Amino acid sequence: MTQIAEVDPRLPAAGPGAEPAPAPAPAPAPAPAAGADRTARRLAIEEAAARVITDPANSRTAARLLAEEIAEEAAGHGVRAFSESVAATHAAGLVQDRLAAFVADHAAELDALVEDGADDRFEYFGLRTVYDRYLLRHPETRAVLERPQHFFLRVACGLSESVAEAAELYRLMSTLSYLPSSPTLFNSGARRPQLSSCFLLDSPRDELEGIYERYGQVARLSKYAGGIGISWTRVRARGSLIRGTNGHSNGIVPWLRTLDASVAAVNQGGRRKGAACVYLETWHADIEEFLELRDNTGEDARRTHNLNLANWVPDEFMRRVEADEVWSLFDPKQTPDLTDLYGEEFTAAYRAHEAAGHYVRQLPARTLYGRMMRTLAQTGNGWMTFKDAANRTSNQTGRPGNVIHLSNLCTEILEVTSDAETAVCNLGSVNLAAHVRDGEVDWERLRGTVRTAVRFLDRTIDLGFYPTPEAEAANKRWRPIGLGVMGLADVFFALRLPFDSPRALALSTRIAEEIALTAYDTSAGLAAERGRHPSYDETRAAGGVLHPDHYLPATPRWEALRAKIATTGLRNSLMIAIAPTATIASIAGCYECIEPQVSNVFKRETLSGEFLQVNRYLVADLQERGLWTQELRDAIKRADGSIQDVPGIPDELKTLYRTAWELPQKALIDLAAARQPYVDQSQSLNLFMASPTIGKLSSMYAYAWKQGLKTTYYLRSRPATRIAQTTVSTSTATLPAEAEAVACSLENPETCEACQ
């Protein structure tokens, strides 16, 4: 029986090919003896989990006890070996015939791959998430029919053509060095292997049939566990003339209300709530009503409570905000060309329509920008994503007519869409924490992980089930993948680098470059082996231009890679996208994607329950100094997980263990901007502000735009925050408070707390 044990919480998870971690030394805390009944074991699990705040090592202890519980439950259905698990799940109708046959043909070899001690790498929260949400269960008894390592190996086999391939991917997953995204984890090897994370739909045609066709596509995609991004920019504005009836349109809001209800009704395969994000360009005449869709006040018939909202912002708008100029709003029925233009061509067409008087109305650009900031502050929604930056550097937009019209649900995917093509992306993330050894990043191990990840992400394109023909056509034409990262904060903690330090920025940038170089090189190798993606000749890479070329002078390594690609081409049009990783980071036991920690001690509520989380790196430092006392723990709890005002903690620890709320947001933006040359899609970049004001937000997002970011994600604020309105006595005093605050912020950027 597992004993409650002491574990050095700063030891990173084992990397690919690493030896299993040494068994921890026993601690005096008791646990049930061997043979104790399940009730006693469950009480011990609860006890160990409750004591995580005292010693984070108890998280591993609770996980080991839960692993025993899972093994016993599976054994009750005759499942002990991996081959028995696949046989049982196949008999229950849960996995595909192909997987069952593959495992039956190689049962002994595959059973031998399972590492018995690998479950010891889980934290309790991670293993509980796997148990509650990912393990296949008997349809009637609901008992699990696979153990955690069987689950990992089943996913690997579902994507593999040989035992050697399955072993390679299983090794990465079992060491928590790399994990595919949740749809792949849910469905690899399943009867209907929908492996993709993201679907991006172009705006529907501005006609009844086109709109209802999009509703149907969204419903089918959501049914099979896809997160949806959809543009609505082509749909005519409120008051637009309907020539067939001589009536006038009600605009986009009623259509989005219907979409909202559909997203709520069709959940993601019964596993997750349906989720969609609607994108609208800033020049659309309904933009102000769009910004009010998530408000908690006003007419509920003009609100959508399930849809996320994002602004698709052209540079011309941001320039006019900066210059305090007028902005014109158009009905897309009258200016349909604007949707498919970007950069200088968009600016020229926009100004021509404006000069011709085609606009519906005009307003100060700063007034509209202020309203955008208000929506962000009040709802966290209305994400700022930048149309021209997204299109200007994309490999897919190398030919006229190939245009990116939106991002996805989490703002990290940027792919070409059209009426006939629904963009798709398959995601996976490298756990950077698992690649730190002896005080430095193990670069060769990181490159090995990336090579494996890229090959298997490419494989998902051929093996996946597609809910719509538009999705299948686009994915097989462009073959994009989205390799991301998680655990960056763990790396900084392990290497003692404050998040906003120059060394942290340099390391983050080098990690991004190494991943991109390896991913592109691997894709070139796949192209030589299996063929280029069908649209290769339409890409910038076919003309010798790679993504970093838009930002930086070439280096010898990139020049060598360019020469290789000129010969082989690329298997994938896009490689890198940094997704949020909320769930898979929990499984891996690391911090999410590229984010700083939000608190040193906090409770996390998920579908699996409520779990106490604690920064194990901080605890280890305080334990070494003899400071981790009940009194100190209580003080940190009272401070909502902050240690900045807790007496007795050394200053160097206070600097290292600042939370997202205590870091300058400029640092997060600068980190993202520095890695952007090596991210050919985008990054899910949350920004944090405990008490947002219109002024602070205005300068923060203007800074993000100037730094060349393609997208941003949620604005995170503290609960029950009221928006403080900044007012100044200037020539803009006659404008609404939002515009006053924008003016103050943009004209006096040095006063903005967000960017200091």
Catalytic residues: 408, 410, 412
DSSP state of 710: S
Cα within 13 Å of Cα(668), Cβ side: 28
**Given the DSSP bridges, would you call strands 227-231 and 276-281 parallel, antiparallel or unpaired?**
parallel
Phi, psi of 609, deg, nearest 5: 125, -165
Query: Residue 482 is encoded by which pair of tokens?
Result: 């989205």
CB-CB contact of 646 with 88 (8 Å): no
Q: What is the radius of gyration, based on Cα positions, of the chain?
A: 26
DSSP state of 20: P
CA dihedral 571, 576, 580, 585 (to 10 degrees): 80
Beta bridge partners of 277: 229, 308
At a CB cut-off of 8 Å and minimum separation 6, what does 622 contact?
628, 632, 649, 653
Alpha-carbon span 52 to 65, nearest angstrom: 14
Instruction: Name every residue whose Cβ is closer than 8 Å to that of residue 483 and which is 6 or more positions away in sequence.
Output: 427, 428, 429, 430, 450, 453, 454, 457, 515, 519, 575, 576, 577
Nearest CA-CA partner of 441 in 451, 452, 430, 456: 430
- Residues 469 and 485: their CA atoms lie apart, in Å, by 30
Phi-psi region of 380 (alpha: psi -120 to 50; beta: other; left: phi over 0): left
Q: C-alpha angle with apex 322: 317 to 323, nearest 5 degrees? A: 95
CB atoms within 10 A of CB 443: 13
Using CA atoms, how far apart are residues 641 and 634, in angstroms rounded to an integer?
10
Q: Buried (b) or exposed (e) across 693-713, using 16+ Cβ within 10 A?
A: bbbbbbbbbbbbbeebbbbbb
Report strand pairing: 601-606 vs 609-614. antiparallel
Residue 486 near residue 580, CB atoms below 8 Å: no
Give the amino acid at 484.
G
> Which of 186, 181, 142, 147 is closest to 63 using CA atoms?
147
Q: Write the DSSP assignment of 134-169 as a string of letters.
A: TS-B-TTT--BSS-HHHHHHHHHHHT-SSHHHHHHH
Handedness of CA 613, 616, 619, 623 (dihedral sign): positive
Note whether 187 and 225 are within 8 A (CB). Answer: yes
Task: Decide if 82 contacts 109 (C-beta within 8 A).
Answer: no
